[in-house]
Chain A
């Protein structure tokens, strides 16, 4: 049969606004979570990570929030810039078994 591509959620924001990208993970035993950014034609690039013993971690312009109760991860990007346009993936890691979400395509409008 015909294969259907993953329907990537999309998020479009105005330059300068804050962006929030959400991700639901599957394994309650996962203990390490990572956000990656992938620009067209490139490999994924690490943005920020968080371990399961934390619920919030901040980087430069980015914050990751972890809610283990509902198995939810979010990435907040402050003052979004055109260079932030990319596909963003969350990943969960349990004992070396790395699983990636489908990704969200972020478009920043000038």
Chain B
């Protein structure tokens, strides 16, 4: 069974641009959650999607948004990029909502904002 796949793995953007990251969950998993990992703040929860609906949202500005498609694939978007958005963005999938079971993480998309 294929694991969680995130694309792109690495990307470089400049301030003010926007970026879209993609996540394909494990087949059969309906929940996808996104996290930001930085040396300064550690791992922080961004949002969780289940059956195309956002279930939970972390404490991030509205520049960070996401969506989930009917095949459970998810995308997150960051608009008007700032230097501080440089981070590893991790996606995780689970069979049901995150409060009920194991999360399977992808290897992340490393974003550098110049």
Contact = CB atoms under 8 A, between A and B. Distances in A.
Interface of A: 3-6, 31-32, 34, 36, 41-46, 49, 89, 91, 93-103
Given A97-B45, A100-B42, A43 B108 contact: yes
B40 A6 contact: yes
Contacts, number: 67
Interface residues of B, number: 28
Q: Give me the 10 closest cross-chain CB pairs, A-B, nearest first.
A: A43-B105, A5-B39, A100-B43, A96-B56, A96-B99, A46-B102, A3-B40, A44-B105, A43-B107, A98-B45
A91 B90 CA distance: 15
A6 B41 contact: yes
Contacts of B101: 49
A94 B45 CA distance: 12
A86 B45 CA distance: 21
Interface of B: 4, 33, 35, 39-45, 48, 55-56, 58, 90, 92, 97-108
A99 B45 contact: yes
A46 B106 CA distance: 12
Contact of B56 (A49, A97, A101): A97
Contacts of B43: 44, 89, 91, 100, 103
Given A96-B56, A97-B56, A6 B42 contact: yes
A31 to B, nearest CB: 8
A42 B37 CA distance: 12
Given A41-B107, A43-B106, A43-B108, A93 B99 contact: yes
